[in-house]
Amino acid sequence: MEVKIGVQHTPREITLESGQSADEVERAVTAALDGKARILSLEDEHGRKVIVPADRLAYVEIGEPTARKVGFGA
């Protein structure tokens, strides 16, 4: 699923394809914004971690789950 993260004072957003479910991402974002976690940490499909300080989050956009493309057009 595609996740876009806006960071304050940064002109570009962070975009990643996450293997986590929408509920898992939402829980992580909520914990960061509620002050339970000082950072937002998400993992992409390749195992790389994206870590953003919670106080710098501008927005988080959680997209629809993407279906795997099969065939020559992939």
Domains and CATH numbers, the chain: 2-62 (2.30.30)
Average pLDDT over residues 38-61: 94
Whether the predicted model's global pTM rises above the 0.85 cut: no
Q: Is 48 helix (H, G, I), strand (E, B) or coil?
A: coil
Two tokens, residue 27: 């829980």
Instruction: Place 60 in a pLDDT band, splitting at 50, 70 and 90.
Output: very high
Name 46's Cβ contacts closer than 8 Å, sequence gap at least 6. Answer: none
pLDDT score recorded for residue 73: 65
